[in-house]
Chains A and B, each alone.
Chain A
Amino acid sequence: MNDLIWGVVGLLLTIMILSYLIGDNVFFRFAAHIFIGLTAGFVAVMLINQILIPYFVTPIVTGGWQQWLWMLIPLGLILLLVMGQWSKFASAGSIPLAYLAGLTAAVAVGGAVFGTLIPQARAVIEAFDPAGWYAVPGRSWLRVMDALVMLVGVIGTLSYFHFGKRRSTDDVVESPDPPRLMRALGKIGQVFIGITLGAVFASVFSSALIALIDRVLFVGEIILKLIGGG
């Protein structure tokens, strides 16, 4: 019985959200606002349970006076952050936000270099390992082609992003041209970017289609249960 009640709740919300397909309407807004309220409440609970309590309340409750003293710093930062939300004390918020900005920037720099730049560049270079080419006998030409396409494609894609352009002193109308070599490589890059975006689109579309089928099946299943056929 309990499952059926929750099933009906899910059914109603599903139909209300799917009604958006015929245009924005009150049913969609109703379901959307329930969802917003629910996620907001749930996120608040998670923030309190998983951040505020373990990182702030527990150290104060269980720690000694030294821990207490250390916690004065984040307490001060929190107070400044909260105070900063009032227009009168707006500048107070700049210190805790500067703290967060510095931390986020460092994480971004580390992530960009050690999480993306190095591993991706390494993967391109590793494809040229002759040991890998001859690992499968008779298919080495494919591995070589793979490596070459990877190198040319990545260089082409990077060239497409080139920002600068030739500068002339009488440059009244902005020239759309980057350097010629970059332009040529960029054309190759465009094809590879298109291929990537197309493949990603296909996988997004496939997942979305599976969700659509799942919802249709779900609606059918609950309706069958309600009329006693399931």
Chain B
Amino acid sequence: MKKLPAIIVSVAIGLTVLAGYFFQAELSTVLSLIVDWGILLAGVAGLIGLGYLAQYHLTRLMKREKGAFFSLITLLVFLFTLVAGLTLTTQNPFYRNLILNVQVSVEASLLAVLAVTLMFASLKLIRTRGWTPMSVGFLISALISLVLNLGVGMTESGTVLGELVAFWRRLPIVGARGILLGMAIGGLIVGLRILLGMHRPYGEE
């Protein structure tokens, strides 16, 4: 009985939003309210999540656990970025430089680390997966795509070779389409399970 109000809220909100896809004009006012409140709640949930991040580092710091120094760094930078962002605004040149220079440097460097990791991981492909239709398809496709990405085999469209290269470039779309269709069916069922009250991620399963 205790879980009934939550189920009612979830199902009512879900079905109203879903109905909004069909009766857009009739439900536009209600929909805009529901979506606005949803965005607001999601934002607050995001802030709570950040609170947990701060709490995790604060606990590590207070208990002087291993890595407490790094937690101190995280907390200091977090507070500085937060206070500076709110007081200077995000348009301030110093703030923009701070965010861009740190973010771009770290993200691009992590991507660079990923490049090297990919290189070594790709050597393990057959050891991990063995010789299966999928791994053979992967290997051939990866090699040909890498060669094509380098610009090798660039031919004029209209020639038979050009058409074959274009055909090869279109081939990955086939599997992608199948994968996306399959995942859409899965996503549809996951959503419907909540809309029908069968699955309740808000607790009280």
Contact = CB atoms under 8 A, between A and B. Distances in A.
A–B direct touch in complex (beta carbons closer than 8 A): yes
Interface of A: 2, 6-7, 9-11, 13-14, 17-18, 20-21, 29-52, 55-56, 70, 73-74, 77-78, 81-82, 85, 90-91, 93-117, 120-121, 123-124, 139, 142, 145-146, 149-150, 153-158, 160-161, 187, 189-209, 211-212, 214-216, 218
The 7 nearest A-B residue pairs measured at CB: A157-B178, A194-B137, A41-B81, A198-B141, A37-B77, A196-B175, A51-B43
A81 B9 contact: no
A17 B137 contact: no
16 contacts: A10-B102, A36-B78, A47-B46, A51-B46, A52-B44, A81-B48, A98-B200, A102-B10, A112-B191, A142-B163, A154-B174, A191-B133, A193-B178, A193-B179, A199-B142, A202-B141
Contacts of A205: 115, 118-119, 122, 142, 146
Interface in B32-81: 33-48, 50-51, 53-54, 67, 70-71, 73-81
B120 to A, nearest CB: 10
Contacts of A46: 90
B177 interface: yes
B109 A106 contact: no
A39 B195 CA distance: 34
Nearest to B38: A103
Report which residue of A33, A55, A145 has the largest number of chain B beta carbons within 10 angstroms of its beta carbon: A33
Nearest to B93: A2
Interface of B: 2-3, 5-7, 9-18, 21, 33-48, 50-51, 53-54, 67, 70-71, 73-82, 84-86, 90, 97-99, 101-106, 108-116, 118-119, 122, 132-143, 145-146, 149, 163, 167, 170-185, 187-188, 190-195, 200-204
Contacts of A42: 81, 85, 99, 103
Contact of A196 (B77, B172, B200): B172
A196 B2 CA distance: 48
B13 A103 contact: yes
B112 A45 contact: no
B90 A49 contact: yes
Contact of A101 (B97, B173, B185, B200): B200
A3 to B, nearest CB: 9
A124 B139 CA distance: 26
A73 B139 CA distance: 55
Contact of B137 (A50, A56, A98, A192): A192
A207 B167 CA distance: 23
Given A97-B202, A100-B41, A154-B178, A117 B141 contact: no
Report which residue of A14, A102, A196 has the largest number of chain B beta carbons within 10 angstroms of its beta carbon: A102
